[in-house]
Structure 1
Amino acid sequence: MTAQEIFYWLLFSLLALSAGTVWLAYLKSFSIIQPARMKLSHLPDQFRLAYEPVVFPSTDGVALRGWFIPAEEEGSSRTIVFCHGWGSNKAELMRDTHFLAGLGFNLFYFDFRASGESAGNAASVGYLETRDLEAAFAWLHANRPEACGSLALFGLSMGASVALWGASRRPEVKCLLAENVFLSYTRVVANWGWRRLKVPFYPLIPLILFFVRMKLGADPEPYSPVHTAPAVKRPVLFIQGDHDELVPLAEARALYEACGSTEKDLWTVTGAGHAKCAEVGGEAYRRKVAGFFQTNLPPEPEPAEPPPGAVKTVGA
């Protein structure tokens, strides 16, 4: 083989490898934007919970579906809004947290776009989903104003990133529980690429991120927790598994340090992988979650009774 033939062979191989890498990145970007829909594994009535199925539009018109589960004690004004993870749905969170209804909290679960029972065919690992959370708050205020006296957020993975964004913007949010939340959009995609594809960051991950940005018409990175957490001033409980391959414990600690709240805690569940803290933590997990919301979302005090012999004055 002549030197010229070797040169052309190497050039062709390099071009073929480059084209294959670009094509693979393009295909894998669909895995992020269009995750497979997971069927609902549980319904509230399986846990003997009264509930109302609700349908409401996101701020850009995508039809979202959810469940409003009233607290077992009638007339509660305390409501927790739940944000599920990427590729999951409201049923997965409800399975692990429905016990909170028995502790005096209303529970509002909904499916993000392109997930569960909601419409839409494009997810974004947190960017478009912020619109869905805004719409969930709008539905609550318009349809359940009596349940909006004290509001809290509970987010898992991608949902926790959306919840951090919401807590940084909405003063009515009293506290936030963020479980298995990633540090940044870029980092979680890089971790996903290594875990699922076994590829290093370069050159595939930047190409995947490029195609995702191109398809979304926006960059999700500014919505990452590392950028929104410093603005969160409410009490925050971070829950993290020490066997989480998507969100390493070092990244969870970095986000904890970046959070602007002076009332924050990082609780580690030994042996738990991603989205497995409830399963592994068991009763200790439920006690921790219940204690956080009972402390930071207390019931409204009962009106004081007038002292004996006092005369009640009726206004004109």
Structure 2
Amino acid sequence: MNILQWWVIGELSVIVIGLSFLTVQIWRRARSQPGIRLVELPKTFTGCVAYVSRLGGLLMLIFLFVILERNILTVILETAPAPSHVPAPEEAGLEAEEVTFQSPGGPSIAGWFVPSKNGATIILLHGYGGNRTAMLWHAERLIEAGYGVLLYDERASGESEGGYRSYGWEDTRDVEAALQYLSTREDAADKVGIAGCSTGADIAVYSMALYPQLGAAWGDGNSSVRAQDMPPIRDWITMFLVPSNYMLDWMYTVRLGIDAPAPLVDVIDDIAPRPLMLVGGGVQRPVIGSEADLFTLRFAELAGPNAQAWIIPEAAHCDGPRVRPEEYAQKMVTFFDSALGIK
């Protein structure tokens, strides 16, 4: 069994033990005081207030415990390496060269490279825990339009090396390494853009703020890099969700032994005047709403007039290529054509 299955068993065990302990205590009270009601409600106003306060405090402690143990599970699972088999490019239907490059002071990164025919190359970044094959659809559409592509497995994912994943925090270094690698190839174009989905979008957009060599970025399904990127507290859900993310940030720094990067909201305006396209799904998710409302529109506003936001109402997370394949491909290619000056 994997760690998630063991964790669920542990949770259920704690619940059973806790309920058993509570049942035994109630039974002992009933045995020691015959005739007493097991639940005796207070008869005065102050007594009722105290009773409700104690009950509320107990529920709050239970809720905080659940958040804590769930955050611990999240950090354990999301920092563990996620190796996976990657087929040969021809098996994936792509005419590409298998390449590797070294991240400065970091792991060896494995990927595929296709030379450019139009003078521009796009770096493609997949979502968390996946591998480069998740960006095949994007690669095929860009190649059809003449673009070169470099799609690779993020560190400690797919066939790339690495002892841990860092929720994208250290992956911007690998983008820098990718840019350096492209600069050494005679068949690589001078103009470089970047595109990503989910955590890949976070890495892509953040890298745009760091590296002026990147001429444009397409981010689909961006979310928070740090707790400060979460939306302002607006209801009881975000009242707990936002503090929980601050706890997660601290846990990641302790677990990984690294410094946390600056929040995306603090650096996203450094991208200007270079073009930025942010894509978000409009499907309302239970409790928290749509990613468009949570992140996409707000990030685009913070980035400035160089940024565009495309909201796809019927799309969920990174779902645009499925629900609007032709429009998505056309918009993506048109965006990079305009942003990188491709005629």
Same fold (TM over 0.5): yes
Q: Give ranges in structure 2 of 5+ residues lacking alignment.
A: 1-28, 33-53, 232-238
Q: For residues 61 and 46 of structure 1, do their structure 2 counterparts lie closer, same or farther at Cα, with a shift above 3 Å needed?
A: same
RMSD value, Cα: 3.5
Tell me the residue number matched to 1:307. Answer: none
Deviations 1:233-266 (A, max 9, x none): 1011111111275862122111000004x33211
Deviations 1:89-129 (A, max 9, x none): 21111233312112111101111111111111311222111
User: Given the alignment, which residue of 226, 234, 256 partners 2:265?
Assistant: 226
Aligned length: 281
Matched, 1:136 2:152: no
Q: Is the 8 A contact 2:122 2:194 kept in 1?
A: yes
Q: Does 1 or 2 have the higher relative contact order (CA < 8 Å, sep 6+)?
A: 1
Deviations 1:160-208 (A, max 9, x none): 2222222223222221111111144327899xxxxxxxx9438755443
- Whole-angstrom CA distance in 1 between matches of 2:162 and 2:141: 30
- Whole-angstrom CA distance in 2 between matches of 1:133 and 1:265: 23
Deviations 1:19-45 (A, max 9, x none): 7764553233112212644544x6542
Q: For residues 27 and 152 of structure 1, do their structure 2 counterparts lie closer, same or farther at Cα, with a shift above 3 Å needed?
A: same
TM-score (norm 2): 0.71
Q: For residues 208 and 299 of structure 1, do their structure 2 counterparts lie closer, same or farther at Cα, with a shift above 3 Å needed?
A: closer
Tell me the residue number matched to 1:147. Answer: 188
Q: Is the 8 A contact 2:115 2:187 kept in 1?
A: no
Q: Is the 8 A contact 1:125 1:185 kept in 2?
A: no
Deviation (angstroms), 1:152: 0.8
Q: Is the 8 A contact 1:183 1:252 kept in 2?
A: no
User: Given the alignment, which residue of 157, 169, 183 partners 2:210?
Assistant: 169
- Whole-angstrom CA distance in 1 between matches of 2:74 and 2:97: 37
Tell me the residue number matched to 1:106. Answer: 148
Tell me the residue number matched to 1:7. Answer: none
User: Given the alignment, which residue of 30, 37, 52 partners 2:76?
Assistant: 30
Q: Is the 8 A contact 2:124 2:196 kept in 1?
A: yes
Tell me the residue number matched to 1:306. Answer: none
The structure that has the greater radius of gyration is 2
Q: Is the 8 A contact 1:180 1:274 kept in 2?
A: yes
Matched, 1:266 2:309: yes
Q: Is the 8 A contact 1:124 1:220 kept in 2?
A: no
- Whole-angstrom CA distance in 1 between matches of 2:284 and 2:161: 30
Tell me the residue number matched to 1:45. Answer: 90
After TM superposition, the structure 1 = structure 2 runs for residues 79-94 of structure 1, keeping only pairs within 5 Å, are 79-94=121-136
Q: Is the 8 A contact 1:126 1:220 kept in 2?
A: no
